[in-house]
Chains A and B, each alone.
Chain A
């Protein structure tokens, strides 16, 4: 019986230490891998950290997309209609990236105020607004619906949200 108890004790101790290690690692990994979201207003106000990965979002400003003639380098402006943020990205933009559309970029803010993006996220549906962007616009005093790109005239009279995948 004693041996059994001892075994049980060891099992429990082992379990507890394993869980402790796991939780410690998890929290550590979480802390170093969280990307916070910032709107252009917050970035202009200097709230965002420099040279640390973050997410930013807003609408792609009309007429701001500029592709380099030789390479895949592209520059565009993300706006919440209060402040603007210049974004530079090298690579292929997603299919649904368009001017006047909501977009989220992941990257690092540079010294002189522009953002080097590693990732540009547009969504998989043409009339989708990233929730962070919607909220950022609302906080800047705009109704996101005003700026939602007009999808081609939809035939259905009613949209209950089912198509917003």
Chain B
């Protein structure tokens, strides 16, 4: 199937989208500066058009994949006629060109959503926001067209079949992880555009926060899920059971997440109290810049990792230039305009404002330490000062204590009040919870494993210190004359969002603590009939077989598992696959998932003489890691659904709306 013109149509649509993005960037921004409504009116239709044409381009590429059009270089390099259709469709973003196209499409999607969901936004503001997003889009579409055209043809020597998708990527994870992550990355462009628009306009009021906040929360929720999916995927796909590697690419996604977390908290203060304004704007700029930097690190080939597709220096330079321009111009604008938007309101030492300030400082420090550990080796290498690598101990040594510090303040946050809280009040509300957290934390490892473990105690105590004071607060708030249920119903969705978000962190902390301290791994030599006991589970290899999949051959081991002396047994079947097109071996892990423990069995290598090196692991509480992330994301989304973002009457007079707003306790 190479006679169709589908790729050319796609290429054409891409060019049209670039032109539309150009118009969307220039006309509304110029219009807003010169107060010409007609020019500003270009913004919305151009956003729609751009989205439409990028959608067409994207569908064309997908069609080329589905139709096995190997005359398209991108398809020939990353697909194969034997590949199942769902992997063909997701192979589109399993490579450099396609993933940048997806990036652009998602950016256009967010722009489209802003254009059509923000009807109440003042005309100037909307024009500026869409204009800034248009500018970002111009940069990325130019990048796609100039350096990474996915529609390039291989003519006239069309390959008979494709080189196949990297077997590591042939997995459900590829279908969900990149789109989610990109939704998060790119979603921060919205708050970035809002921030730049506010700077251009020299005005940042409470209404601004109210428009920007939901978008930020949604982007943050997507990023949270995206990171969690990546961790989960690496856990079962790479074959050795790690869930976080402090790999530079992972850090690249963690950095905007940390900054974004600071941002959503800072936005809360800006909305409620009108303070932290320039700080919020700065954080918005940083968050999106870190997203861009993540894209640069991952896509430029400066990093060597599973994710680094492109090794073309021109691409790296292009993104680096794009990053430099974005950050440089934004910061320049910030320096010139920030004094105009800032506003001073005092607050007490012990107040929610102050606690959130500490939250922000700690999160920024965490961001900086991770950034340093990620970029330092790259800098040294670029300056020819030697090749080094910074290992996980560095990150653990800094990240863990900072997280503990963050959590100590997190426990107090929901109990405190805006502006000022009396220390005595705070103590009265939290001492019991604190004591309970300490006591339960101290005995938890004893009860769980019969042996004391300082790290586990600390982890559990910290998690409880987040949950217990919040639970007390929840109980107090849901009190109502018409009964508890009525009280619970009366709680705002924003409050629910905060509760779930913080609960999610606690759940993740428990997961990290337990799995890091109690996971057991044994690498053993096993032949048919051999039994190995790991943490109370007996693994017996009963059979070695051969299998044939659609595009691979596999050795499979049947492992019978029994817990203690119980009668119940079940079978786990890990595989070692050989993917035919690339001749590449792959480990297919067998998992027995559970809320309190995972069993993890992987085949290592064939040792000859009928035995295999096997990796057997028992991982308690590992699911809690990702469960916590899901809770956090749910919290972020619930907060968006809060009534105050949907109220239309007050939005017409935003300034007054804020004054009239009761001081809800939300973060």
Contact = CB atoms under 8 A, between A and B. Distances in A.
Contacts of A125: 166, 584
Contact of B393 (A18, A33, A96): A33
Given A18-B361, A131-B304, A37 B386 contact: yes
Interface stretch (A76-84, A107-115, A154-162): A154-162
Contacts of A96: 584-585
B388 interface: yes
B386 A36 contact: yes
Contact of B582 (A90, A91, A126): A126
Contacts of B369: 22, 25-26
Contacts of A154: 163
Given A34-B389, A37-B389, A91-B523, A163 B95 contact: yes
B346 A33 contact: no
A95 interface: yes
A126 B304 contact: no
Contacts of A130: 304
A37 B388 contact: yes
Given A30-B390, A92-B605, A93-B605, A165 B309 contact: yes
A96 B238 CA distance: 12
A72 interface: yes
A101 to B, nearest CB: 12
Contacts of B159: 155-157
B118 interface: no
Contacts of B346: 4, 7
Contacts of A132: 387
B388 A36 contact: yes
Interface size class on chain B is 35 or more
DSSP majority for the A interface?
loop
B354 to A, nearest CB: 9
A29 B397 contact: yes
A113 to B, nearest CB: 22
Given A26-B369, A37-B386, A156-B159, A151 B583 contact: yes
Contacts of A116: none
A61 interface: no
Contacts of B344: 4
A77 to B, nearest CB: 18
B398 interface: yes
B664 interface: no
B204 to A, nearest CB: 21
Nearest to B304: A131
Interface in A69-108: 69-72, 90-93, 95-96
B157 interface: yes
Contacts of B609: 69
Contact of B525 (A15, A70, A123, A126): A70
Interface string A132-165: 1001000000000000000110111111111111
Contact of B311 (A11, A25, A164): A164
Given A96-B585, A162-B77, A18 B388 contact: no
A126 B310 contact: no
B399 to A, nearest CB: 10
A124 interface: yes
B86 interface: no
A28 to B, nearest CB: 8
Interface in B285-341: 301, 304, 306-312
A71 B95 contact: no
Contact of A33 (B162, B163, B391): B391
A18 B358 CA distance: 10
A35 B78 contact: no
A67 interface: yes
B299 to A, nearest CB: 11
Interface in B343-360: 344, 346, 349, 357
26 contacts: A4-B346, A25-B369, A25-B398, A26-B372, A29-B393, A30-B372, A32-B393, A32-B394, A55-B389, A70-B525, A72-B604, A92-B615, A95-B576, A95-B587, A96-B584, A155-B76, A155-B159, A156-B77, A156-B154, A158-B73, A161-B311, A164-B309, A165-B95, A165-B166, A165-B306, A165-B308
